[in-house]
Structure 1
Amino acid sequence: MTRIKKNTLVVLNIILKNDKGDIIVDKEELTYLHGGYNQIFPKLEQKLENKAIGDVFELILTPAEAFGEIDDSLIVKELLENLPKEISIGLELDGENGMIYIVENIEQEYAILNANHELAGITLLASGEILEVKHLSDKVVKELLKEEKH
C-alpha cells in the first residue's frame, strides 16, 4: 500500500470547522503535492505524512498555523468619495500592491475595508479522509512545479 511521503500526489476530502463547530468547508476535494512544497498548511502536511488511502485525519489549526492572525494594518477607513459609487458591503476592491479589500461596513462618510483573509484569526478543526495516493518520479514533480509557477 502506497503511503504519503515526499513527492506523492495526494487527493483527500477535507472538512473545515471553526472553533464553534460551524462548517466552513464541507467535504471539499483537495489535491496537492506532498513534500514541503507549501501547497497546504505545514501542520496538516505533517499530520498526513505516512498515511494511506482510506486513512482519516483530524487536527486543530491555530490562526498562525492556518490563515494567520488578524493584521490591523490591513483594515482601513476610506472616505466614500474615494470609492466607487456602487459600493456595497461584501464588494471586493483592488488595492495597492495586489491587495484585495472587502467592504465590511459603510458609514455616512466612509467605508471600512479589510484585506485580511476571511478566515484570519480563526482556529480551525480540519478533518477528512485520504482518497488517492500516487508516488511521482522526480521528473514529473519538476514538470508539475514548473507548471505551477506559470
Structure 2
Amino acid sequence: MTQSKSGDTVRVHYTGTLNNGQVFDSSKDRAPLEFTLGTGMVIAGFDTAVTGLSPGESITTTIPVDKAYGPYQEEMVAEIERANIPADFELEVGQRLEMQVPGGEAMAVTITDIQGDTVTLDGNHPLAGQDLTFELELVEIM
C-alpha cells in the first residue's frame, strides 16, 4: 500500500486535544484538512506524524511544544494605551486582532485584559507552550 511522503498532497481528518483532554480543534464535522507534506503548511510535528501513513490508516500522536507552536514567551505580551486603538473599535477579552509591528509586518494578537485605559495584548499563538495530542486519519494521498 502507498505511504505518504514529502511532496505529497494529502487529506487528513484530525482531532486535537490538550493534556487535560479538552478538544481544541477537529475536522470531524467538515472536510478533511488538505496540505502538502514537507512544505511547512502545518506545524512540524503534524507533518512528521502524517508522513509514512497509508490511506485509511489512523494514529494518535502527542506533539511536544517545540514541534507545535513553541514555548510561551512572556516578551510577546504588551500593555498598550486604549488611545492607540481606533475609538470606534469595540474591544473584548479573547478577541483576536491583527496589528502592524515595527518593520511593517502584520502580527496576530489576542486581547487578554482590559483595565481602564490599558489593553493587554498577547502575541503568542493561543496554543503556545502546550503539548498537543492528535488523533489522525490519512484519508487520501492526491
TM-score by length of 2: 0.83
Equivalence for 2:11: 11
Q: Quote how far apart the aligned CAs of 1:118 are.
A: 1.1
Structure 1's unaligned 5+ residue stretches are 135-150
Q: Which residue of 2 aligns with 1:30?
A: 33
User: Alpha-carbon deviations, 1:103-126, whole Å to 9, x = none?
Assistant: 111002311111111111121101
85, 90, 93: which one pairs with 2:94?
Answer: 90
Contact 2:27 2:33 in 1 (8 A): no
User: 1: CA distance between counterparts of 2:44 and 2:81?
Assistant: 39
Question: How far does residue 17 in structure 1 lie from its aligned partner after superposition?
Answer: 0.3
Distance 1:103 1:40 in 2: 25
What's 2:64 paired with? 62
1:121 corresponds to which of 120, 129, 135? 129
Query: Is contact 1:95-1:101 (8 Å) kept?
Result: no
The one-letter code sitting in structure 2 at the alignment partner of 1:39 is M
Q: How far did residue 93 of structure 1 move? A: 4.3
Within 2, Cα distance between the matches of 1:82 and 1:27? 38
Could you say if the C-alpha distance between residues 117 and 9 of structure 1 is closer, same or farther in structure 2, counting changes exceeding 3 Å?
same
For residues 18-42 of structure 1, what are the alpha-carbon distances to aligned partners after superposition, in whole Å with 9 as ceiling and x for unaligned? Answer: 11000011235211112x2112233
Unaligned runs of 5+ in 2: none
**Deviation per residue, 1:41-96 (Å, 9 max, x gap):** 33332232221111001111122211111122211011222223333223324231
The 8 Å contact of residues 112 and 120 in structure 2, kept in 1 or not, is answered as yes
SS in 1 for 2:27: strand
Largest Rg, 1 or 2: 1
**Secondary structure at 1:99 match in 2:** strand
**Structure with greater proportional helix content:** 1
What stretches of structure 1 move > 6 A for 4+ residues in a row?
Answer: none
